Protein backbone atom coordinates (compact mmCIF):
# COMPACT_ATOMS: atom_id res chain seq x y z
CA UNK A 1 0.00 0.00 0.00
CA UNK A 2 1.26 3.43 -0.89
CA UNK A 3 -1.23 5.98 0.49
CA UNK A 4 -4.67 5.95 2.04
CA UNK A 5 -7.13 8.58 0.83
CA UNK A 6 -9.87 9.04 3.38
CA UNK A 7 -12.96 10.45 1.66
CA UNK A 8 -15.83 11.91 3.69
CA UNK A 9 -19.21 13.15 2.51
CA UNK A 10 -19.83 16.86 3.06
CA UNK A 11 -22.68 19.25 2.32
CA UNK A 12 -20.48 22.08 0.99
CA UNK A 13 -17.03 21.10 -0.32
CA UNK A 14 -15.68 24.65 -0.53
CA UNK A 15 -16.84 25.51 3.01
CA UNK A 16 -15.44 22.30 4.50
CA UNK A 17 -12.14 22.65 2.67
CA UNK A 18 -11.74 26.24 3.89
CA UNK A 19 -12.55 25.11 7.46
CA UNK A 20 -9.85 22.42 7.40
CA UNK A 21 -7.33 24.78 5.79
CA UNK A 22 -8.00 27.28 8.61
CA UNK A 23 -7.71 24.57 11.26
CA UNK A 24 -4.31 23.48 9.96
CA UNK A 25 -3.06 26.99 9.21
CA UNK A 26 -2.84 26.40 5.47
CA UNK A 27 -3.31 29.01 2.78
CA UNK A 28 -6.72 29.02 1.15
CA UNK A 29 -6.79 26.96 -2.03
CA UNK A 30 -10.22 26.41 -3.61
CA UNK A 31 -11.35 22.87 -4.40
CA UNK A 32 -10.65 21.46 -7.84
CA UNK A 33 -14.36 20.79 -8.38
CA UNK A 34 -17.62 21.78 -6.72
CA UNK A 35 -18.16 18.15 -5.73
CA UNK A 36 -14.62 17.16 -4.65
CA UNK A 37 -11.71 18.75 -2.86
CA UNK A 38 -8.50 17.60 -1.21
CA UNK A 39 -6.74 18.86 1.89
CA UNK A 40 -3.04 18.55 1.09
CA UNK A 41 0.11 18.92 3.11
CA UNK A 42 2.85 21.32 1.99
CA UNK A 43 4.58 18.46 0.13
CA UNK A 44 1.39 17.60 -1.79
CA UNK A 45 0.45 14.58 0.33
CA UNK A 46 -3.33 14.16 0.43
CA UNK A 47 -4.50 14.34 4.05
CA UNK A 48 -8.27 14.22 3.50
CA UNK A 49 -10.70 14.18 0.58
CA UNK A 50 -14.07 15.92 0.75
CA UNK A 51 -16.84 14.64 -1.49
CA UNK A 52 -20.25 16.26 -1.97
CA UNK A 53 -23.13 14.12 -0.82
CA UNK A 54 -25.12 12.54 -3.65
CA UNK A 55 -22.57 13.04 -6.43
CA UNK A 56 -21.58 10.09 -8.64
CA UNK A 57 -23.90 7.63 -6.87
CA UNK A 58 -21.26 6.15 -4.55
CA UNK A 59 -23.28 3.83 -2.29
CA UNK A 60 -21.92 5.22 0.99
CA UNK A 61 -22.11 8.86 -0.15
CA UNK A 62 -25.73 9.01 -1.30
CA UNK A 63 -27.17 11.07 1.56
CA UNK A 64 -26.18 12.41 4.96
CA UNK A 65 -29.66 11.44 6.14
CA UNK A 66 -28.96 7.69 6.08
CA UNK A 67 -26.93 7.79 9.31
CA UNK A 68 -25.29 10.12 11.79
CA UNK A 69 -22.23 11.96 10.42
CA UNK A 70 -19.04 10.09 11.07
CA UNK A 71 -20.63 7.06 12.72
CA UNK A 72 -17.70 4.67 13.12
CA UNK A 73 -15.17 7.23 11.90
CA UNK A 74 -12.62 9.28 13.83
CA UNK A 75 -10.51 11.72 11.84
CA UNK A 76 -7.22 11.70 13.77
CA UNK A 77 -4.41 14.02 12.70
CA UNK A 78 -0.89 14.29 14.12
CA UNK A 79 0.38 17.88 13.98
CA UNK A 80 3.70 19.57 14.70
CA UNK A 81 2.12 22.73 16.12
CA UNK A 82 -0.59 21.60 18.54
CA UNK A 83 -0.65 24.90 20.48
CA UNK A 84 -1.12 26.95 17.31
CA UNK A 85 -3.73 24.46 16.03
CA UNK A 86 -5.60 24.81 19.32
CA UNK A 87 -5.75 28.59 18.94
CA UNK A 88 -7.06 28.23 15.39
CA UNK A 89 -9.60 25.61 16.50
CA UNK A 90 -10.96 27.90 19.20
CA UNK A 91 -11.51 30.60 16.55
CA UNK A 92 -13.45 28.39 14.12
CA UNK A 93 -15.36 26.00 16.40
CA UNK A 94 -18.28 26.84 18.65
CA UNK A 95 -16.78 24.55 21.27
CA UNK A 96 -14.28 21.75 21.67
CA UNK A 97 -15.59 18.22 22.17
CA UNK A 98 -12.55 17.46 24.32
CA UNK A 99 -10.27 20.04 25.85
CA UNK A 100 -6.52 19.49 25.55
CA UNK A 101 -5.45 16.46 27.57
CA UNK A 102 -2.79 13.78 27.66
CA UNK A 103 -3.85 10.66 25.79
CA UNK A 104 -2.57 7.75 27.92
CA UNK A 105 -2.31 5.46 24.88
CA UNK A 106 -0.27 7.73 22.59
CA UNK A 107 1.30 9.68 25.50
CA UNK A 108 0.74 12.89 23.56
CA UNK A 109 -1.42 15.92 24.12
CA UNK A 110 -4.57 16.12 22.01
CA UNK A 111 -7.96 17.81 21.68
CA UNK A 112 -11.10 17.14 19.66
CA UNK A 113 -13.79 19.14 17.88
CA UNK A 114 -16.51 18.71 15.26
CA UNK A 115 -16.16 19.88 11.69
CA UNK A 116 -19.00 21.69 9.82
CA UNK A 117 -20.61 18.35 8.91
CA UNK A 118 -20.41 16.91 12.41
CA UNK A 119 -17.38 14.66 11.93
CA UNK A 120 -15.35 14.12 15.09
CA UNK A 121 -11.82 15.47 14.53
CA UNK A 122 -8.91 14.90 16.91
CA UNK A 123 -5.60 16.72 16.68
CA UNK A 124 -2.65 15.20 18.48
CA UNK A 125 0.90 16.39 19.01
CA UNK A 126 3.32 14.45 16.85
Domain of 76 in residue numbering reads as: 7-125
Q: How far is CA 23 from the centre of its chain?
A: 9
Domain tally, the chain = 1
Q: Could you tell me the CATH number of the domain that includes residue 36?
A: 3.10.180.10
pTM of the model: 0.89
Characterize 6-18 residue by residue with b for buried, 16 or more Cβ atoms within 10 angstroms of its Cβ, and e for exposed: eebbbeebeebbb
Domain annotation covers residue 64: yes
Domain annotation covers residue 110: yes
Domain annotation covers residue 1: no
Give the model confidence (pLDDT) of 86-103 as tens digits.
999 999 999 999 999 999
Give the model confidence (pLDDT) of 8-61 as tens digits.
999 999 999 999 999 999 999 999 899 999 999 989 999 999 999 878 777 677
Domain annotation covers residue 50: yes
Amino acid sequence: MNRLWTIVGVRDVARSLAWYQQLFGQPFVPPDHGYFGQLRDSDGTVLLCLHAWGEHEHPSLISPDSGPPGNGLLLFFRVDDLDAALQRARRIAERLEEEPHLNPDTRTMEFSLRDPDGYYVTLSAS
